[in-house]
A and B are shown apart, each in its own frame.
Chain A
């Protein structure tokens, strides 16, 4: 039983770490795309201006509610499903 609890604990830690890394990565991609959008719309204001920063900040507000951001929670589901699958195939087949 102790081993089982330890497994759950380590799995949760690994999943949380992976979730954070993926979240940072996805947000970084989104910001980059927003900056490019701004640069295309305002060719007269090149570079990292306060206006662009404000645009990116406001565009990022709803990011946690997007489908992509919610699908990220699968990080906490898929490995557990895989483990259950392994348990089934190893012990009940």
Chain B
């Protein structure tokens, strides 16, 4: 029983970590090489890694969407592909509806190997080639060079707020266990 509890606890911890790793924004220093949109099939197996339907990208009868993509190269020479989709008012709560503007910005910041313009792309999500999932770019900032790594303030603040809430709920639960709801149902 003890080992079962430990195993469940560890699995839960891993699940929370993966969830935060997926949903929180992360920043990458890259150079944009190409931007385009392509008909992409959103299948049931990878649908949760795309924006919810009806948020801005139209889906045709075959379940395909015309998704915007941003192709980039990292300072170490490896490539990285972002998608650029509205999230709308639904999950995940980025409330992004400027993907057309972001695509224009990305196109404007395209640069070649000889005269590179390094940018920091903020995105959430995972690149999983076997499932055809791409991180969703949220914003693009220009950088002075490939070694610059801006601090990820948004994710830090969200983590701090979540920790504070966890501490609060822990205190509330302790108070409930100690005293129950006695203040409510007291009759003389």
A residues in contact (CB < 8 Å) with B: 3-4, 6-7, 21-22, 24-25, 27-29, 31-32, 50, 53, 57, 60, 83, 86-87, 89-93
Instruction: Indicate whether A28 sits within 8 Å of B95 (C-beta atoms), given known contacts A4-B89, A7-B90, A21-B172.
Output: no
Instruction: Find A86's partner among B55, B94, B171, B179 (CB 8 Å cutoff).
Output: B94
Task: Please tell me which one of the listed residues A3, A24, A60, A86 contacts residue B181 in the complex, with CB atoms under 8 A apart.
Answer: A24
- Determine chain B's interface SS by DSSP, over half rule: loop
Interface positions of B (Cβ within 8 A of A): 54-55, 88-90, 93-98, 101, 138-139, 154, 171-172, 175-176, 179, 181, 183-184, 186, 188
Q: Are A87 and B95 in contact (CB under 8 A)?
A: yes
- Distance in Å from the Cβ of B140 to the closest Cβ of chain A? 10
Please determine whether A7 and B188 come into contact, CB atoms closer than 8 angstroms: no
Query: Smallest Cβ distance from B175 to chain A, in angstroms?
Result: 5
Residue of A at shortest CB range from B161?
A82
Distance between A22 CB and nearest chain B CB, rounded to angstroms: 8
Judge whether B55 and A3 touch: CB under 8 Å: yes
